[in-house]
Structure 1
């Protein structure tokens, strides 16, 4: 037991003295979170669009239409003439251009149907090569015009729809990103870190010298696991504290359950890292193998965007790898306040991954290069 604690303490000292380790483990996740929070914003609106308006009518109705569009969530209105607006649309600086021609106000005041063959007083210009923006933008503009028409006709609907928000907590972009960054940190530190470190120690003969001592392999692995679990827990708390004080990101669930998910993720990816280190003869081969495994997981693990948005072809892969379940577990505790029973599937899958990977790591572990 004494050797176990000494080895754990020695490993923690190695972490503390390694400047690169401190930068990559502590500061990189925090800087990534700050960068994403700054560029993407910490508000709840994820939709953003710029609309240019050239009002040639200058009537009460044209001003009302511009106001309706400007007050729509996520819409920013710029007042430009036609020439500048069309150039801005072509460059991508503006998503949609609306020209309000003379006669718009008088047409609405007359309350008469639109005469056949007569030019429409509202002209819409947009780039249809971007179907998402064009469809959403067209819908928003049509709704604004419809609202103006109803107002001019003094239309009163007989039946209305009552909306009820059933979302328990408002989810902002930064609330979604922080658990993903934690998941990325755990995977990178343990899968990539363990593979490179153990392979390096083996090549330099450090493991061979340890093998010549009374130290058991189980004690060595247990010390590595304990040190990295403590390190990952400390990292997670540091990231969450920064997220709380800067972006007001809260943990709605149990901190104990959150740390348990962190523990499971650490154990799982550490075990995979040991497997890679055992199968690699040198650190030069361990690094690329670990990167080849971890890099695709960044895009299919729900770290930066929801798993449900991935193509159907990738869904079976997502359901087979551990990173998706780690991200789901962290996000469930932080964003939804989920309990252990509600996170049964992620916990079971991560535990199964850890058990299988640990058995393989124990069987394939080598003290020396063969």
Structure 2
């Protein structure tokens, strides 16, 4: 037991001395989180931008124009020339252009027939244009009913349902934590163990009474402490900047951080056993981790991936680690309902260390 604690403390001292590696290991996921969370979006709402040309400039036309300004879902830009407004649609600066023709107020006073407002839209962007037309039609329809004091026989009662509102940054942060755990343990373990083997440190350890199990246990404990601290620090920074709360249990979150660390550490030991030297350990680890970044649901939902990739995705450890962290942080899913993620990560852990013990070499 004494040798175990001495090795654990020695490994932590090695981490502490290499401040540059520690700094950049932690800095990269934080910068990535801040960049993607800030620039790709923190919300899931869609704002429509419309242009208005008021050629009538009467009290009635200004009242109609004011309705669009009052709508919180619309951003209104006023244009004087039709050609300028049409060019804005073509450039994508606005989605719709509404023209209030001259004589609008006079036509309302006569009320001989319905008055049509020209609305221009981009035919190549029908999805957004149709959404904008629906909003505009609703505003105009209600305005028309108010003008003639129309009282419908049947009305719609709007009953809002408070649904789960998950922003992209809420989805992203658990994926960043999973990515950091994978990278630190696969790349870190493989590189360090390979370097120690090449420098003869492992051979000298083997010549002592030190057991392999004690050496591995000390490595696991030190890395659990380091990776757990880094992962929790990322979560706290995300909470401070993006107001992300852990909806579920903190104990469940810590459990999956520990389980994910162990599972990826076992893969790191396998790579360390296969690699002939430190120079080859890095490329091998990169060859394994790089596809996982895109197939493991770190940046994008797994459900959006093609059907033929789904069977591969569903067995990757990072996919289940990302899913477990998101379920815990964003939804608050109870730990007992995450049995599939626990079993698959546990299988990678057991299978990984079993294979690592077979391929691991002291020299």
Q: 1:358 to 1:302 in 2, by over 3 A?
A: same
Superposition deviation, residue 265 in structure 1: 0.8
Superposition deviation, residue 174 in structure 1: 2.9
Q: 1:123 to 1:135 in 2, by over 3 A?
A: closer
> CA offsets per residue over residues 332-364 of structure 1, 9 Å max, x none?
111122211121221111111211122111211
Superposition deviation, residue 312 in structure 1: 2.9
- The gaps in structure 2 that reach 5 residues or longer are none
Tell me the residue number matched to 2:179: 184
Structure 1 counterpart of 2:220, from 222, 225, 249? 225
For the residues of structure 2 that align with 1:4 and 1:122, how far apart are their CA atoms?
Answer: 79
For the residues of structure 1 that align with 2:304 and 2:103, how far apart are their CA atoms?
Answer: 45
Does 2:175 align with 1:215? Answer: no
Question: Match of 2:298, SS?
Answer: coil
Tell me the residue number matched to 1:160: 156
For the residues of structure 2 that align with 1:104 and 1:48, how far apart are their CA atoms?
Answer: 28
Does 2:299 align with 1:300? Answer: no
Does 2:261 align with 1:266? Answer: yes
Question: Match of 1:29, SS?
Answer: helix
Superposition deviation, residue 258 in structure 1: 0.6
Q: Is the 8 A contact 1:109 1:152 kept in 2?
A: no
Q: Is the 8 A contact 1:196 1:287 kept in 2?
A: yes
Larger radius of gyration: 2
RMSD (CA atoms): 2.9
Tell me the residue number matched to 2:278: 283
Superposition deviation, residue 126 in structure 1: 1.7
TM-score by length of 2: 0.86
Q: Is the 8 A contact 1:200 1:283 kept in 2?
A: yes
Superposition deviation, residue 261 in structure 1: 0.5
> CA offsets per residue over residues 25-74 of structure 1, 9 Å max, x none?
322222333333332454x4442443333333445665555555555555
Task: Return 95-104 or 337-346, whichever deviates more.
Answer: 95-104
Q: Is the 8 A contact 1:196 1:277 kept in 2?
A: yes
> CA offsets per residue over residues 134-170 of structure 1, 9 Å max, x none?
4544444444444444444545440425434153x54
Superposition deviation, residue 260 in structure 1: 0.2
Does 2:340 align with 1:345? Answer: yes
Q: 1:232 to 1:87 in 2, by over 3 A?
A: same
Tell me the residue number matched to 1:22: 22
For the residues of structure 1 that align with 2:300 and 2:255, how far apart are their CA atoms?
Answer: 24
